Structure 1
Amino acid sequence: MTSDGNENNAGPQTTPPWRGVARPDTHEENLAEPAAHEPRSVEPGIWRYEHAARARVVIDAADYFSLMQQAMMKAQRRIMLIGWDFDTRIALGRGRSWFNVFKRHHPPRRLGAFIVWLTKLNPDLKIRVLKWNFAAIKMFLRGSMVFDMWRWFKNHRIDFKFDSAHPVGCSHHQKIVIIDDRFAVCGGIDMTADRWDTRLHRHGDRLRRAPGGRKYMPWHDMTMLVEGEVATALDELGRERWQIAGGNYIPPLETQPHSIWPEGLEADFEDIEIGIARTRAEYKDIAPINEIETLYLDLIKRAKKFIYAENQYFASRKIAEAIVERMKEENPPEIVIVGPLFADGWLEQAAMDTARARLIASIEKFDKAGKMRHYVPHTTGDGPIYVHAKLMIVDDEILKVGSANMNNRSLGLDSECDLLVDATRPANRGIEPAITRIRHSLLAEHLGLELEEVEPLLHKYGSMHALIEQHPQPGRRLKRLPPLEMNDIEKHLADQEWLDPEHPDDFFEPIVGAKKEKKRYGLFRRLRRPH
């Protein structure tokens, strides 16, 4: 929609962008430097470590949407929105609605109008939006979104692109926002419909409605805000992905002295080192990256006392095999997994729910002490809460937040990005209490407790499993995932991994009959098949 060019020809600004500044007489020129396609991991499972001046885990989209509105209003040079899906009709936070057109000094609430508003008030600001191409068909079913896209198309400061640079059957699944190279977000929350919810997850909340007025179920999600060199690294990742998707080369920005961090937001971590891990399928001349798979398996092996995880899916053979090896030990770690009752969509249910049930049944054969259990959060009205988060906490020393699920797609097929905070690294000494607080905060959210109640209750009951299953839960609660009844066809589809393959070529295997020897084993190449 507009050409990429040199964005360093104007120096840092001191005038806030929402006040409006005169556009300098600059000239943009297309650059054509090649994208760097080599993985270049600094160690197995980690692309690189970078310094973060501040970092904060944001839980649930009500807070996230509001914070992103504040952050984007501070942008001076560039905003990059990279995601699986965007819906321009969603409301971000405070501001004027579409019918209150006379309050021009207030930002619009709708994402589509807000993006246009930002560019009008700051002519030096460029905004790029990268979205998975398959979701493009949804645009024509979203009414006013077509109008928003036309306004974006006419605006030479907004560049919108569909990402189709992946093998057939794979997807662009990262959820990253980068502002002025110094502030970034990476996690699991998409700026799209059916995501907004508060941490209370009120049963029947009237505000939990899609743009067209349709109600949707309670939704639990999270992401991480970062400031500093780690954001610059994510900007490099985003610019590379833009070029891989067919866009022109985007140069890095000059150092920006201003802070994008939302006013009054307390950081969970300050002056720490954060690791970045990626997944990317092999595509043409682009090398595959499997850092997140390596990281998942390493963290499971590393756990001494416990693993607390929240994840949309649990369908990875390799992750299940790693857990089985731990369950065979004399004193295995406690493993708590919080996930949804069912996947979102019939195809995902056929692929993910069945594989999850089969893998859990297989693990239970080795889990003699009942150390691993899978839970589903419920509202005060006993309705299930959909879990879309992708979190892992290990021994309160490791915190991982990102876009990658515990399924084959996230470990080898889709483009993913996770952030890692490791308290054992020299630069991160003493941050364990902050990680503990995040874990306790999540347990409090799911069990309807106050944050201060969690620690003494864990001491009282002795474990997370005992707290969850023995403490009275008159309000919000965690319930054990019930067994899933499956017919022989569903079991066969799950066991063969046809709907969640480990390699892009395997999508066509049921049709062409390729690699029969490999696929004959599917989920249970090393695990014992449940009866």
Structure 2
Amino acid sequence: MPMARGTAEAESKLDEFDDSSVAPGVWRYAKARRVRVAIDGEEYFDLVQQAMLRAKQRIMLIGWDFDTRIHLRRGRRWYQRPFDRSFPSRLGSFILWLNRNRPGLEVRILKWSYSVFSLATRGAMLFDLLRWARHRRIDFKFDTAHPVGCSHHQKIVVIDKQFAVCGGIDMTGGRWDTRAHETEDPERKLPSGSLYTPWHDVTMLMEGDIAGALEDLGRQRWITAGGKPLKPSEKSEESAWPEGLEAHFENVEIGIARTRAEHGGMRKVHEVEQLFCDQIASAKRFIYAENQYFASRAVCEAIAKRLAEPDPPEIIVVHPHTADGWAEGQAMDPARAELVTALNELDKHHAFHLYVPYTDDQPIYVHAKLMIVDDELLRIGSANFNNRSMGLDSECDVFIDSNRPGNGHVTGQIERLRHSLLAEHCGMAEEAVPALLATYGSMAAMIAGINQRGEGLQRRHLRPFHPATPDETTRDMALRETLDPEEPGDVFTIVPARNGLFRRGSLLAKARAKGRARLRRIRQVD
């Protein structure tokens, strides 16, 4: 059967890109001169705005969502300083100002196609797109290059082939918060003016050759989505790295992992899943993870293997109390309940712990996608612990592994970042964490000790999470992975339960069957 003309043309445009993996679960390795982990939106949005102000050639913004109505930290607001001629703080106007005041600078923005429907409720954004359309150096596209039911989920920024960002934060509303995560913060509001609840997120800022690799990934995605081919940026001697910004890491090698569904001549890529499984298997002492969901069959099967060992590593997962939105809750929460029940059945050494961060009695929504293993590996990206991120949605994670050549110096800083995150969630000074960990012997014991010693919970604290039992309908949907499938072909289909969340004969399936049998015996006795 002859190849469709459009597919053939797209493939010819993509010939320049090396699409193969260099190692199991890894697309590329590249060097970085400087790396900074930005924790929470206040730091991220400020640093990215500073970097964009230093751009000379190209700003590439790739995301699941993008909202021109949000205000960045710096710049004027017309209603506050109407005669100020400095750059504006509102994102849509800020990009237009960059276009007018940076000769030769081009801005390319790629956003997931489904969010086109959000324009109906973002009237001012539609006006921004019309204003941008007059300027050839601003190009905005919706990404439709995925199978039905899949999404474009990467969150990447690349500036001048020297500066890049990869993580979990989109440049949209509802993502800004401080590390204090106050119960009520008048600055934490949507473009509409309504307030939202505390939000925790993480991303990675990088400088050096790694930006060139992520630019290649971005240009490849741009062409796949129907954009005109973009020439590589010229490597500049100058960098958009914000002036005075202290790096967490210097002169390190960074790995990149992707997820991509097979579509339009592009082969399936499941590096994210393979790398998660390999990194979980590599843990010797502990795994500390923050993630929006806990519903991935592959990830939980990898954890199950560790819990079944005679001396498993401590596994800490910080995540939200419930998924954001009704549909997400119906898809993710019942699957989480089933998987956690099975894992608890295997957890004879009490090594596995789920927590939800709180400020007072207000749960903090965890949108971060972060994993630290033994303080030897740091991973940050867009991929969630759910099935979609393993096989359906386009994802991109970056990681620093101390076992790679030249990376032996990173372990101390990874440890400090873990301490910083624990301090944020437990409402304490970062300097106090090392001594408390030494006293209690583990992260879980420290968290329990702090909560108990405090005679009531601290203002910011971590609470152990125990999922509620789902009803039969939502349980059946979770078992069949109806709302969170692993393959594009399973979208909108009824997958047999034996091919769903618990694969026949797997360690998880056996643990679940054993746990359900034990519960039946308890109910009979009662």
TM-score using structure 1 length: 0.91
Whole-Å separation in 2 of the counterparts to 1:509 and 1:135: 24
Whole-Å separation in 2 of the counterparts to 1:131 and 1:358: 33
The residue that corresponds to 2:225 in the other structure is: 245
The answer on whether the counterparts of 2:297 and 2:502 sit within 8 Å (CA) in structure 1 is yes
Deviation of the 1:143 alpha carbon: 2.8
The residue that corresponds to 1:349 in the other structure is: 329
The residue that corresponds to 1:394 in the other structure is: 373
User: Of the candidates 405, 417, 426, which is equivalent to residue 447 of structure 1?
Assistant: 426
User: Of the candidates 328, 348, 357, which is equivalent to residue 377 of structure 1?
Assistant: 357
The answer on whether the counterparts of 2:336 and 2:467 sit within 8 Å (CA) in structure 1 is no
Q: Choose between structure 1 and 2: higher helix proportion.
A: 2
Q: Deviations over 1:307-350 (max 9, x none)?
A: 00000011111111111111111110000000000001111000
Whole-Å separation in 2 of the counterparts to 1:88 and 1:116: 11
Q: Deviations over 1:505-530 (max 9, x none)?
A: 101322xxxx64xx434111122335
The residue that corresponds to 1:495 in the other structure is: 479
Deviation of the 1:32 alpha carbon: 10
- 1:274 aligned to 2:258? no
Q: Deviations over 1:178-222 (max 9, x none)?
A: 000110000000000111100000111111111111111100001
Whole-Å separation in 2 of the counterparts to 1:233 and 1:139: 32
The AA in structure 1 aligned to 2:327 is: L
- 1:103 aligned to 2:84? yes
User: Of the candidates 158, 163, 176, which is equivalent to residue 196 of structure 1?
Assistant: 176
The answer on whether the counterparts of 2:292 and 2:368 sit within 8 Å (CA) in structure 1 is yes
- 1:258 aligned to 2:242? no
Deviation of the 1:263 alpha carbon: 1.1
User: Of the candidates 496, 502, 509, which is equivalent to residue 524 of structure 1?
Assistant: 502
Q: 1:38 to 1:265 in 2, by over 3 A?
A: closer
Q: Deviations over 1:265-285 (max 9, x none)?
A: 110100110001111000020
Deviation of the 1:38 alpha carbon: 6.1
The answer on whether the counterparts of 2:160 and 2:239 sit within 8 Å (CA) in structure 1 is no
Whole-Å separation in 2 of the counterparts to 1:180 and 1:483: 46
Deviation of the 1:255 alpha carbon: 1.6
Whole-Å separation in 1 of the counterparts to 2:373 and 2:331: 28
The answer on whether the counterparts of 2:287 and 2:373 sit within 8 Å (CA) in structure 1 is yes
The answer on whether the counterparts of 1:87 and 1:192 sit within 8 Å (CA) in structure 2 is yes
The answer on whether the counterparts of 1:39 and 1:289 sit within 8 Å (CA) in structure 2 is no
Number of paired residues? 493
The AA in structure 2 aligned to 1:52 is: A
The AA in structure 2 aligned to 1:524 is: F
- 1:304 aligned to 2:284? yes
- 1:236 aligned to 2:236? no
The residue that corresponds to 2:54 in the other structure is: 74
The residue that corresponds to 2:7 in the other structure is: none
Deviation of the 1:33 alpha carbon: 5.8
The answer on whether the counterparts of 2:57 and 2:104 sit within 8 Å (CA) in structure 1 is yes
Q: Deviations over 1:227-261 (max 9, x none)?
A: 00001000000000000000111111222111211
Whole-Å separation in 1 of the counterparts to 2:375 and 2:82: 49
SS in 1 for 2:204: strand
The answer on whether the counterparts of 1:33 and 1:249 sit within 8 Å (CA) in structure 2 is no
The answer on whether the counterparts of 1:32 and 1:249 sit within 8 Å (CA) in structure 2 is no
SS in 2 for 1:378: strand
SS in 2 for 1:430: helix
CA-based RMSD: 1.3
The AA in structure 2 aligned to 1:494 is: A
SS in 1 for 2:362: coil
The residue that corresponds to 2:99 in the other structure is: 119
The answer on whether the counterparts of 2:337 and 2:470 sit within 8 Å (CA) in structure 1 is no
Whole-Å separation in 2 of the counterparts to 1:82 and 1:524: 34
Deviation of the 1:485 alpha carbon: 3.2
1:11-410 equivalences under 5 Å are: 34-36=13-15, 39-99=19-79, 100-104=81-85, 106-379=86-359, 381-410=360-389
The residue that corresponds to 2:491 in the other structure is: 507
Q: Deviations over 1:117-142 (max 9, x none)?
A: 00000121100000000011101202
The answer on whether the counterparts of 1:390 and 1:404 sit within 8 Å (CA) in structure 2 is yes
The AA in structure 2 aligned to 1:361 is: T
SS in 2 for 1:162: strand
The AA in structure 1 aligned to 2:166 is: C
Whole-Å separation in 1 of the counterparts to 2:259 and 2:353: 27
Deviation of the 1:98 alpha carbon: 2.8
Whole-Å separation in 1 of the counterparts to 2:396 and 2:199: 21
The answer on whether the counterparts of 1:131 and 1:172 sit within 8 Å (CA) in structure 2 is yes
The residue that corresponds to 1:478 in the other structure is: 462
Q: Deviations over 1:16-53 (max 9, x none)?
A: xxxxxxxxxxxxxxx99611476310000111110100
Unpaired segments ≥5 residues, structure 1: 1-30
Whole-Å separation in 2 of the counterparts to 1:233 and 1:45: 16
The answer on whether the counterparts of 1:130 and 1:160 sit within 8 Å (CA) in structure 2 is yes
TM-score using structure 2 length: 0.92
1:411-450 equivalences under 5 Å are: 411-450=390-429
The answer on whether the counterparts of 2:356 and 2:464 sit within 8 Å (CA) in structure 1 is yes
Whole-Å separation in 1 of the counterparts to 2:172 and 2:385: 22
